[in-house]
Amino acid sequence: MLNMKNTYTRWQLLFLMALRFLIGWHLLYEGIAKLLNPQWSSIGFLKESQWILSGFAKWVISDPSILSAVDFLNTWGLIAIGLGLILGMFFRVAALSGFVLLVVYYFNCPPLVGIEYSLPADGNNLIVNKTLIEAFALAVLAFFPTSRILGMDALMAGWKKKKEEK
């Protein structure tokens, strides 16, 4: 019934699962925290945007309706990605969209030499920061999937297979 064979060793699976839950937890809370704070808006973050996406950020800020659409998509996107990772549901889509979203965050405020931000940075960063690392960790998870071993995708794959058999 399992459509993916577990080729991981016990330890590989354990840490891949742990990474999946940790990132899922983080993104889910980021989304929910925004949802619970009625005053949250991405404007503060977008105002800081300086590199290649600064034009995009300005465009978003310029129009309140675009800004609120971006806020909405961001909040619910984070929640959906977080749930997808934790539950192992639509896992690859969730992990890859998470990767894209985090890379967008990174490109808005990359810690490049010569770019200074008024917001204090989390730790000391040179070109690489934690957002970028989290993005690539998500990419790794997408290409070392665990959701069909432990996750809702296993069930869904089963259903799909049954349908095909019928």
Catalog residues that contact another protein under the rule CB under 8 A: 1-2, 17, 21, 24-25, 28-29, 32, 36-39, 41, 43-44, 47, 64, 67-68, 83, 86-89, 118-120, 149-155, 158
Nearer to another protein, 80 or 83 (CB): 83
Strand partners, 128: 126
Nearer to another protein, 40 or 56 (CB): 40
User: Strand, coil or helix: what is 126?
Assistant: strand
Residue 154: partners with Cβ closer than 8 Å, 6 or more residues away: 2, 3, 4, 88, 147, 148
In the complex, what is the shortest distance from the CB of residue 117 to another protein, in angstroms, rounded to a whole number? 11
Nearer to another protein, 2 or 112 (CB): 2
In the complex, what is the shortest distance from the CB of residue 59 to another protein, in angstroms, rounded to a whole number? 13
Nearer to another protein, 88 or 98 (CB): 88
Query: CA–CA separation, 29 vs 3, rounded Å?
Result: 31
Residue 117: partners with Cβ closer than 8 Å, 6 or more residues away: 48, 50, 109
